[in-house]
């Protein structure tokens, strides 16, 4: 039997995530496949998602670690313009089929951690 207990993985210093600014990327294994995740700060809180558009499963950033639209209000897929809420990952417009896949983040003592789960594991070299 596989143990799917949650593990907190240190990701970055809290100061590395600027509100509505660049994301901090990280590698994960999602459903057995190596993928990229990203962490952002929006309205003072940290959020994490799998870097995969729900329209077409490809990475979303239009430049490395850039996900926010020009208003800084929405996450946008650079390829087809699908738009997502930074608070929830829900599709709010464009050709998205569903929301983004959320990655649990916590922040404390100046450090942001991401958390493993049943379909999300640490990439082991």
pLDDT, tens only, 40-59: 999 999 999 999 999 887 89
Confidence (pLDDT) at 4: 47
Does residue 2 carry a pLDDT above 50?
Answer: no
**pLDDT more than 90, % of the chain:** 80
Query: How many C-beta neighbours within 10 Å does residue 57 have?
Result: 10
Q: pLDDT by residue (tens digit) across 77-109?
A: 998 899 999 999 999 999 988 999 999 999 999
Q: Which domains does the chain have, with CATH numbers?
A: 8-121 (2.102.10.10)
56's tokens: 């077409």
């Amino acid at each position: 039997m596989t143990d799917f207990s949650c593990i907190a993985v240190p990701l970055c210093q809290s100061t590395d995530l600027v509100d509505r600014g660049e994301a901090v990327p990280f590698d994960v294994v999602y459903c057995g496949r190596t993928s990229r995740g990203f962490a952002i700060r929006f309205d003072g809180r940290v959020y994490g998602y799998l870097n995969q558009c729900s329209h077409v499963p490809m990475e979303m950033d239009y430049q490395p670690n850039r996900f926010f639209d020009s208003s800084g209000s929405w996450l946008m897929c650079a390829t087809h313009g699908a738009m997502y809420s930074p608070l929830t990952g829900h599709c709010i417009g464009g050709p998205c089929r569903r929301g983004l896949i959320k990655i649990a983040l916590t922040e404390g003592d100046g450090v942001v951690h991401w958390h493993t789960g049943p379909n999300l594991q640490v990439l082991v070299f």
